[in-house]
């Protein structure tokens, strides 16, 4: 079981485990950002004179490094949210295992 003084275990103001941040806002923002970057690059390449499928493929290829550079902040927030969620799930799992094995002290 994780110790309350462990810096890797988030805590709430009441002393219990912290509620992990929602992953949906950064996930949606990152996905929409990637799609917008891809559409913009395909449109620019298409306007520049490259037809249909080659423009799509070249736009997809260029959108990968562009998204990596332009969406760094959103990707970092998503990574932090996923890491916090993983820590909270691991802590809850350890607490449940301790309660099921009878190692937890009775609160009565």
Write the pLDDT tens digit of every residue in 45-97. 999 999 889 999 999 999 999 999 999 999 999 999 999 999 988 998 999 99
Q: For residue range 1-53, what is the model confidence (pLDDT) as tens digits?
A: 444 445 555 555 555 556 777 889 999 999 999 999 999 999 999 999 998 89
- Altogether, the residues listed in the chain come to a count of 108
Report yes or no on whether pTM surpasses 0.75: no
Q: What is the largest CA-CA distance in the chain?
A: 76
CA distances from 79 to 24, 53, 95, 98, 104 (A): 12, 33, 24, 29, 32
CB 87 within 8 A of CB 17: no
């Amino acid at each position: 079981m994780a110790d309350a003084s462990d810096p890797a275990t988030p805590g709430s103001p009441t002393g219990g485990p912290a509620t992990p941040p929602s992953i949906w806002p950064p996930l949606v923002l990152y996905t929409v950002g990637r799609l917008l970057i891809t559409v913009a690059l395909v449109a620019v390449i298409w306007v520049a004179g490259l037809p249909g499928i080659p423009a799509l493929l070249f736009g997809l290829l260029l959108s990968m490094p562009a998204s990596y550079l332009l969406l760094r902040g959103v990707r970092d927030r998503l990574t932090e949210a996923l890491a916090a969620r993983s820590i909270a799930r691991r802590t809850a799992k350890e607490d449940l295992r301790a309660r099921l094995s009878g190692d937890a002290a009775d609160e009565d």
